[in-house]
Amino acid sequence: MTTAEPWPASGPKLDGDAEPVRSGGRLNQPWRAAVAGLELVAAVALVLLAWWAWHRGVVTIYLPGPRGAVDVVTRSIGSWLSGAVIAATLAGLLLIDALRQIGLAIRAGD
């Protein structure tokens, strides 16, 4: 003798299965375009900062070598190079978020 299961074939309905309650706020707001513009300006400034810091982090030294030759030594200064990488990474993240903000600013409303 078989008994019916106490839940439907798709599984039991738990409290966490309920649909999330939406706040009703709109994502497409025109001020997001201004935020995207500010993020683009900040990204360009960070790229320029990264370029400047990278060039400060590489130092070329010319040393006199044997028989009048010149030996070239290139030194890398880690603090400047890591600062350049951090600035470039932040610029990339700002660029990605600026694209997201532009997409949300121009998306059609509900």
At 44 the pLDDT is: 98
End-to-end CA distance of the chain: 53
At 48 the pLDDT is: 98
In a domain, 57, yes or no: yes
Q: In which domain, by residue range, is 45 found? A: 30-109
At 29 the pLDDT is: 79
User: Model confidence over 15-68: pLDDT tens digits?
Assistant: 665 565 555 566 667 788 899 999 999 999 999 999 999 999 999 999 998 888
Query: For the chain, how many structural domains are there in total?
Result: 1
In a domain, 18, yes or no: no
In a domain, 4, yes or no: no
* 19 to 14, 16, 25: CA distances (angstroms): 11, 8, 17
User: Model confidence over 64-105: pLDDT tens digits?
Assistant: 988 889 999 999 999 999 999 999 999 999 999 999 999 888
In a domain, 15, yes or no: no
